[in-house]
Copies of this chain bind each other. A is one copy, B any other.
Amino acid sequence: MAVFLSTYVNKIDRKGRVSVPAAFRAALTPVSTKGIVAYRAVKLAAIEGGGLDRAEDLSRRIDRLPELSDERDALSAILGELRPLDFDGEGRIVLPTDLVRHATLSDAAVFVGCGPTFQIWEPERFRRHQEEMRARIRERGLTLPPGETP
């Protein structure tokens, strides 16, 4: 699966278009070179995105939850939020207005790599979020899960 790293800031033009960073486009798997999927982040004022294959992945994972469970009902609602967004000839996407509102985007968008997914933030909001996360790691002494032990 694709791995998104690093952070990029791109402009949103008056038509609502943004270039997806070339590095992110290059990271997409061959099955999803035509575009990405985007949806409102559940707990953050940001847009969450990933390759088109992520839709399938999410669907499969939710399908593992017990049927008729509240948990499943809630999480499967995410699937309805997924927006496939195709690139134009220059590797740009058009951000749907409701996603723009959810992330309070105006004229610039920060693309943040999160491994198998990425996030799209309003610059100032992202700066604050990043500081908060850094502080949380430092103060709570969060540590990484260990690597594989075969």
Which residues on A are within 8 Å of B, measured CB to CB?
Answer: 3-7, 23, 37, 42-44, 55-65, 68, 71, 73-84, 112-116, 119, 129-130, 133-134, 136-138, 142, 144-148
Contact = CB atoms under 8 A, between A and B. Distances in A.
A43 B77 contact: no
A61 B146 contact: yes
B42 A5 contact: no
Copies in the complex: 2
A137 B74 contact: yes
A62 B133 contact: no
Q: Which of A83, A115, A133, A134 neighbours the largest number of chain B CB atoms within 10 Å of its CB?
A: A115
Contact of A6 (B42, B80, B114, B116): B80
22 contacts: A3-B56, A5-B59, A5-B84, A6-B82, A6-B84, A42-B68, A43-B68, A43-B138, A44-B73, A59-B116, A60-B147, A60-B148, A61-B146, A64-B145, A74-B133, A76-B114, A77-B129, A77-B134, A78-B137, A80-B112, A80-B113, A80-B114
